[in-house]
Chain A
Amino acid sequence: MLTAQNTITWLDKFGDAIEKNKAYLSDLDTPIGDGDHGNNMARGLTAVKAALADKDDADLTTVFKTIAMALISKVGGASGPLYGTAFLEMAKASKAGTTDLPTLLAAALAGIEKRGGAEAGDKTMIDVWTPVLAAVQAGNLTQAVIDDAVESTKPMIAKKGRASYLGERSVGHLDPGAVSSGYLFTALLEVEAN
């Protein structure tokens, strides 16, 4: 179950992971993208942190919406609308009354699919979100599930996003959005463990 408080903690941990790995994320994005994923995400998560600073007493919907708007307005690359839409859809689902994690994540993934038009197997963040959602629904999300999902993007041919211009040359590289999504779910596991 997600609450306003554990969601703030979740994003705080996600922001720390992005900050720590921003050079790595941009490096991953250099051969198959525009080399800015780490910096874009770091800028977005810094904005999220600032926006959440005075939201200790806010409800879950407000927290989700605050995260979404910060990401949409500050990230700059494709990840802004994609992650932003994910949190916006969770805001809508929570407003409809749910705090159930599988339900919220399912709404988020549906939003990402609609916004980006990608499917599983296209070498995008969806290749992490899809197996993670399945594991969350089955109640058995582990770090191994996340790591395997991230790694699964390596042999894929990119069909969406900047990497798709490279076609088969994208094979052998991890998708940066899949890696940052991996950090998001590792942070979620840490929150759940507490």
Chain B
Amino acid sequence: MSLGIVIVSHVPEIAAGVTTLIKQVAADVSITFAGGTDDNQVGTSMAKISTAFDDNAADELLAFYDLGSAKMNLEMAIEMSDKSVHLYDTALVESAYTAASLLQAGVDLTAVEAQLAPLKIK
């Protein structure tokens, strides 16, 4: 069983950009993202988030988001998903980068979460 990462942002380019950034340190970690509404406006989409869960090769996911309503859509997608998804109220870029580099190094979830804890900002 592997761990994957999902990035959720209100803006498609932010979600794609954070993914580009963290892939640099995590070539072997499955990373998917959901950005913007269904028609790529500013906002979040539960359907896009569900697709990002499904498309991720891992069956246990760490999810990171930018602002409040992204969290609400994430929670609804989590309730409807078969995968185990951990949601973090942490600074998006820093925590996603931290998790990506640690997962690439084979660090387990407990140790990853210990390093994410001080990055909690919301």
B72 touches A76 (CB 8 A): no
| Residue B16 interfacial (CB < 8 Å) | no
Least CB distance, B87 to chain A, in whole angstroms:
13
| A80 touching B68, Cβ below 8 Å | no
Stretch at the interface among B20-28, B37-45, B91-99, B106-114: B37-45
- A162-B42 in contact given A81-B73, A115-B75 (Cβ < 8 Å): no
Q: Which residues of A contact B81 (CB under 8 A)?
A: none
Name the distance in Å between A75's Cβ and chain B's nearest Cβ.
Answer: 8
Question: Is A137 at the interface (CB under 8 A from chain B)?
Answer: no
B interface residues (Cβ-Cβ under 8 A, vs A): 37-38, 41-47, 67-69, 72-73, 75-76
With the chains together, A72 CA to B67 CA distance in Å?
Answer: 17
Whole-angstrom CA separation of A116 from B67 in the bound complex: 12
A78 proximal to B (CB < 8 A): yes
What CA separation (Å) do A40 and B44 show in the bound complex? 12
- Contact status A76-B76, CB under 8 Å: no
| Tally of contact residues, A, Cβ under 8 A | 20
Given contacts A78-B68, A116-B72, 6 further A-B contacts (CB under 8 A): A36-B43, A78-B69, A80-B69, A81-B73, A81-B75, A85-B72
Q: Which of A72, A85, A162 has the most CB atoms of chain B within a 10 A radius of its CB?
A: A72
Residue A30, interface by CB 8 Å: no
- The reply to whether A76 and B37 contact each other, CB–CB distance below 8 Å, is yes
Asked if B45 contacts A76 (CB within 8 A), the reply is: yes
**Chain A residues, Cβ within 8 Å of B72:** 78, 81-82, 85, 115-116
A72 near B43 with CB under 8 A, answer no
In order of increasing CB-CB distance, the 8 nearest A-B pairs are: A76-B43, A78-B69, A81-B72, A76-B37, A115-B72, A77-B43, A81-B73, A77-B69
Nearest opposing residue in chain A for B37, CB measure: A76
Alpha-carbon gap, A40 to B69, bound state (A): 13
Residues of B within 8 A of A74 (CB): 38
Let me know if A73 and B42 touch, CB within 8 A. Answer: no
Q: Report the minimum CB–CB distance from B37 to chain A (whole Å).
A: 4
Please determine whether A72 and B44 come into contact, CB atoms closer than 8 angstroms.
no
User: Chain A 162-189, CB within 8 Å of chain B: the 1/0 string?
Assistant: 1000000000000000000000000000
Pick the residue among A34, A40, A80, A161 that contacts B73 (CB under 8 A). A80
A residues in contact with B37, CB < 8 Å: 76
Residues of chain B lying within 8 A (CB to CB) of residue A78: 68-69, 72
Q: List 24 A-B residue pairs with CB atoms under 8 Å apart, sorted by A's residue number.
A: A36-B43, A40-B43, A73-B38, A73-B47, A74-B38, A75-B43, A76-B41, A76-B43, A77-B43, A77-B69, A78-B68, A78-B72, A80-B43, A80-B69, A80-B73, A81-B46, A81-B69, A81-B72, A81-B75, A84-B76, A85-B76, A115-B75, A160-B68, A161-B68
